Amino acid sequence: MSIKFIKSAVFPEDWPEASHPEVVFAGRSNAGKSSLINSLYGAQIAKVSGKPGKTRLLNFFSVNEKYNLVDTPGYGYAAVSGDEVRAWQQMLETYFSLRGTIVGMVLVADIRRKWSDDEAALCEFMASLGRPVIAAFTKSDKLKSNELKKAMQLKKQIVGPEKVMAISSTKKRGTIELEEYIFKNWVQKS
């Protein structure tokens, strides 16, 4: 897997050229987004995206020069002010609505948490734009197998049976399947 950092940006005029299909990673902070991206694509990405100053930007990467990966800032920081939340929402809504090259979103969520109103709203917004979402439920290794089964049944009911995957970034469970899903369903079909 060859990953290259393209650039960080906020405003449309600064986004990279819309020349490749784009896969967006989103999720609240601490969901496990960086760990998942790391285990899928290697450490270079989290290194860039985790730098102070880059954590509130859209970070664009090229994967094998076949598609772009866009790491979006996590939401749900308790310390963030109302103004910052609005700026963040504005940036993402602009990007999601104007960027024609987006082929899908991986919405990262901790499997042990309730599906939040924020996550439901984000899914609805993407659906209204006709862009597919897959929910990647991380930290599945934290549950016993019967708990995991129950949790995934519930997530399927809430999010949709075809739209959920159980993942463990630390144990590398479900990660290869997720990358294959992205490539086959979104990148190759674009």
Ligand X SMILES: Nc1nc2c(ncn2[C@@H]2O[C@H](COP(=O)(O)OP(=O)(O)O)[C@@H](O)[C@H]2O)c(=O)[nH]1
Interface pick for ligand X out of 169, 175, 178, 187 (rule CB under 6 A): 169
35 binds, among ligand X, Mg ion, none (CB under 5 to 8 A by kind): ligand X
* 169 near Mg ion, rule: CB under 5 A: no
Q: Which two tokens stand for residue 149?
A: 């089964």
Q: Which is nearer to Mg ion, 34 or 68 (CB)?
A: 34
Site residues (CB under 5 A) for Mg ion, limited to 13-52: 34
The widest CA-to-CA distance across the chain, in whole angstroms, is: 49
Site residues (CB under 6 A) for ligand X, limited to 6-25: none
CB distance 3 to 84 below 8 Å: no
Q: Alpha helices of the chain — where are they, by DSSP H?
A: 33-41, 44-49, 82-98, 117-128, 145-159, 175-181
30 binds, among ligand X, Mg ion, none (CB under 5 to 8 A by kind): ligand X
Query: Residue written as tokens 């919405």?
Result: 107
* Strands 102-110 and 58-63, bridge-based pairing: unpaired
Taking phi over 0 as left and psi of -120 to 50 as alpha, with beta for the rest, 33 belongs to: alpha
* 44 near ligand X, rule: CB under 6 A: no
* 72 near Mg ion, rule: CB under 5 A: no
Residue 165's SS3 state is strand
Interface pick for ligand X out of 74, 99, 103, 107 (rule CB under 6 A): 74
Site residues (CB under 6 A) for ligand X, limited to 114-153: 138-139, 141-142
Q: Hey, how many other C-beta atoms are within 10 angstroms of the C-beta on 124? A: 11
- Residue 34 Cβ vs Mg ion, minimum distance, rounded to whole Å: 3
Positions that interact with Mg ion (CB under 5 A): 34
Positions that interact with ligand X (CB under 6 A): 27, 29-35, 74, 138-139, 141-142, 168-170
